[in-house]
Amino acid sequence: MPQASATMNVMIAAARKAARALARDFGEIENLQVSRKGPSDFVTSADIKAEKTIFEDLSKARPGYGFVMEERGVVEGTDKTNRWIVDPLDGTTNFLHAIPHFAISIGLEREGVLVAGVVYNVVRDELFWAEKGAGAYLNDRRLRVAGRSDMRDALFATGTPFNGKPGHAKALGEIERVIAKTAGIRRFGSAALDLAYVAAGRFDGFWERGLNAWDIAAGAVIVREAGGVVTEIDGDDFMKTGAVLASNQALAPQLQQTVRGS
């Protein structure tokens, strides 16, 4: 394993511990052993359990740090400079449908700057992690974004609104424009893994609107440390608007222009 800081080791340990319970719960879904209350209640409890483990472990290791978590929301810390940004289960719909593509995402923000991230694909045991200024890794292998610069060769990931979230027409228009000039599009259902895959050079880029800070924080550090660009689709702050776009240096402006239709 390359040299990880003490804080990174704390993040990795928390992710791995929460992952063990998630993997067990996922096994039950795969075997259709879910409780009579129905799979979505079961998933919600798996999600809350994972979040509790992460919350307790991080709180113990770094007392005073604040939190932004999907289930608990904001937990103010006594230390106002450090804040964990956590999604205990990204890819809930996949989990619920026994599709083995979901992750735990833990980001760390220091004085308003994203400084560390872990995205852990539980089923594949793929740990994507990065610290600002120290590179990005998949397990112990250094990551680098893809080198393609021609849109025609590039494969992009995106996410589309669901469950009554607005913006379908806009999303479909964006997809149509991107499909027309690229090698294709994937919608895999985990924004954190979409970002990690951009860092790993599997996807040439990713964009999605309507995300939350916990979907993006860890993945953004990992993409940047892999040499990629992470930006807001329309030029704002993606941690506030949730409209994120990630790619390599050559393709990011082309993808942004295509998505915006400008």
Applying CB under 6 A, the residues found at the interface with ligand IPD are: 87, 89-92, 159, 189-191, 208, 210-211, 215
Nearer Cβ to ligand IPD (40/257): 40
Nearest to 245 by CA among 236, 113, 36: 236
Question: What distance in Å separates the CA atoms of residue 22 and residue 86, rounded to the nearest whole number?
Answer: 15
- Closest approach of ligand IPD to the CB of residue 130, in Å: 19
Is the Cβ–Cβ distance between 214 and 68 less than 8 Å?
yes
Nearer Cβ to ligand IPD (9/40): 40
Question: What distance in Å separates the CA atoms of residue 189 and residue 185, rounded to the nearest whole number?
Answer: 12
How distant, in Å, are the alpha carbons of 84, 152, 197, 248, 249 from that of 254?
Answer: 32, 11, 19, 10, 10
Work out whether 70 is an interface residue with Ca ion (CB under 5 A): yes
- Closest approach of ligand IPD to the CB of residue 210, in Å: 6
Question: What distance in Å separates the CA atoms of residue 203 and residue 155, rounded to the nearest whole number?
Answer: 6
Nearer Cβ to ligand IPD (148/174): 174
Out of 51, 174, 204, 215, the only residue in the binding site for Ca ion (CB under 5 A) is 215
Nearer Cβ to ligand IPD (101/224): 101
How distant, in Å, are the alpha carbons of 47, 151, 257 from that of 185?
Answer: 28, 12, 16
How distant, in Å, are the alpha carbons of 50, 152, 194 from that of 181?
Answer: 40, 6, 20
- Closest approach of Ca ion to the CB of residue 77, in Å: 21
Residue 189 interaction partner, one of ligand IPD, Ca ion, none, beta carbon < 5-8 Å per kind: ligand IPD
Work out whether 87 is an interface residue with Ca ion (CB under 5 A): yes
Question: What distance in Å separates the CA atoms of residue 174 and residue 194, rounded to the nearest whole number?
Answer: 17
Residue 159 interaction partner, one of Ca ion, ligand IPD, none, beta carbon < 5-8 Å per kind: ligand IPD
Amino acid letter at 239?
Answer: M
- Closest approach of ligand IPD to the CB of residue 50, in Å: 11
CA 132 to chain CA mean position, Å? 16
Work out whether 57 is an interface residue with Ca ion (CB under 5 A): no
Residue 91 interaction partner, one of ligand IPD, Ca ion, none, beta carbon < 5-8 Å per kind: ligand IPD
Nearer Cβ to ligand IPD (65/214): 214
Residue 131 interaction partner, one of ligand IPD, Ca ion, none, beta carbon < 5-8 Å per kind: none
Nearer Cβ to Ca ion (89/244): 89
φ/ψ of residue 182, rounded to 5:
-135, 180
Q: For the beta carbon of residue 144, count every other beta carbon within 10 angstroms.
A: 16
Q: Is 218 helix (H, G, I), strand (E, B) or coil?
A: helix
Out of 10, 22, 34, 89, the only residue in the binding site for Ca ion (CB under 5 A) is 89
Residue 190 interaction partner, one of ligand IPD, Ca ion, none, beta carbon < 5-8 Å per kind: ligand IPD
